[in-house]
Amino acid sequence: MLHYRRRPGGPDGGIGGRPGGPGGGGRLGGPALSTGAGLALVLVVTTACGPLAGDETGAARSKTSSSTAAKPAASAGTGGAAGAAVPNGVEKLTAAEILTRARKATASARFLRMRAQFEDGGEKFKIDFRYAGKTKATGWFSQDDQRVEITRIGKTIYLSGNKAFWTSIGGKFAARTFAGKHVKSTLKNPDFKEIAAFTDRSALLTEAVKAVGGWEKGETGKAGTIPTTVLTAASGDKIHVATQGRPYVLLVDGGPGNSIEYLSYEEPVTVKAPPAGSVIAPDPLN
């Protein structure tokens, strides 16, 4: 399954824990994606369906209707163009060729939404990000009751956590101090470098592909209402690639409670910095 294996961080081992020992290696040996506050996230890939409920951060508002954005099949395989359900013939290619074209098409999309959910040791993780180009992104990451919203503009990131997140970092004082605030930092800040990796639109897909390997062309399928060709790994992991419109990756699927969805292709989204009055800079954690 596509889940996180974490190393102990702070007292509660949550998002806000400070870095502990070396990250525990997963079954597939994926690299650690620790939150800057100490959660080591090691991707172990076998994914699952089960879409997450729609959610948006205050920093991004899609220019399309919310009803459209909630339906991955409505635009994911067609590049958002109505009536563009033209067969692309990708299912006739070899598995390696399909994967190459799918990754290239997905990387070329200007606008994109990624949702993911994982389970590990009884804990639940969720991710929901929207991307505008390669250097703008906004979304959130959660571990159980801890949640942090992240907005990236170029090399600058803004983080806003809920009470549980800030409490895990600095207790009640931090929760009071940072309530309703956005911490301004950079991608290079070691405290947040790995959690900021979620603003890299291709990071999870790249890790999923590399961590499993051995993809073979399987049966046909569907992601929402869009027909797909399915690449299957020996572990049971599946990647759904659209066979209509552009050959986008639509779903990485492998087991209950674990999935990565790629949807809302080319549905414009505006990513902007939070209000100046809510920003704390420089980073008060250093």
Q: In this predicted structure, what is the pLDDT of residue 284?
A: 58
Which of 36-40, 167-171, 238-242 shows the highest mean pLDDT? 238-242
Q: In this predicted structure, what is the pLDDT of residue 12?
A: 41
Residue 167 has pLDDT above 90, yes or no: yes
Q: In this predicted structure, what is the pLDDT of residue 39?
A: 28
**Is the alpha carbon torsion for 183, 189, 192, 194 positive or negative?**
positive
CA distance 214 to 235: 9
CA distance 87 to 229: 11
Contact between 16 and 38 under an 8 Å Cβ cutoff? The reply is yes
Residue 46 has pLDDT above 50, yes or no: no
Residue 150 has pLDDT above 60, yes or no: yes
The model's pLDDT over 62-116, given as tens digits with 9 standing for 90+, comes to: 343 333 333 443 344 444 433 368 999 999 999 999 999 999 999 999 999 999 9
Residue with the bigger pLDDT between 108 and 43: it is 108
Distance of CA 258 to the CA centre of its chain: 12
Count Cβ neighbours within 10 Å for each residue of 168-200 and write b for 16 or more, e otherwise. Answer: bbbeeebbeebeebbbbbebebebbbbbbbbbb
Q: Give the start-to-end residue ranges of the domains of the chain.
A: 3-280
> How confident is residue 273, by pLDDT bands cut at 50, 70 and 90?
very high
Residue with the bigger pLDDT between 214 and 34: it is 214
Worst-scoring range by mean pLDDT, 49-53, 139-143, 178-182, 219-223? 49-53
Q: Which amino acid is at 106?
A: T
Worst-scoring range by mean pLDDT, 18-32, 56-70, 170-184? 18-32
Q: In this predicted structure, what is the pLDDT of residue 285?
A: 56
User: For residue 231, which phi and psi values (nearest 5 degrees)?
Assistant: -95, 130
pLDDT above 90 coverage of the chain, percent: 48
Task: Please indicate, yes or no, whether the overall pTM of this predicted structure exceeds 0.85.
Answer: no
Nearest to 260 by CA among 89, 68, 127: 127
Q: In this predicted structure, what is the pLDDT of residue 122?
A: 83
The model's pLDDT over 223-258, given as tens digits with 9 standing for 90+, comes to: 989 999 999 998 888 999 999 999 999 999 877 788
DSSP string for 158-208: EEEE-HHHHHHHHHHHHHHHHTT-EEEEETT-TTTTTGGGGGSTTHHHHHH
The model's pLDDT over 188-215, given as tens digits with 9 standing for 90+, comes to: 888 778 788 889 888 878 887 887 778 9
DSSP string for the chain: --EEE----STT-STTPPP-SSPPP-TT-PPB---TTS---EEE------PPPP---TTEEESS-HHHHT-HHHHTTTTT-TT---B--GGGS-HHHHHHHHHHHHHH-SEEEEEEEEEETTEEEEEEEEEESSSEEEEEEEETTEEEEEEEETTEEEEEE-HHHHHHHHHHHHHHHHTT-EEEEETT-TTTTTGGGGGSTTHHHHHHHHHH---EEEEEEEETTEEEEEEE-TTS-EEEEESBSS--EEEEEEETTEEEEEE-TT--EEE-PPPGGGEE-S-TT-
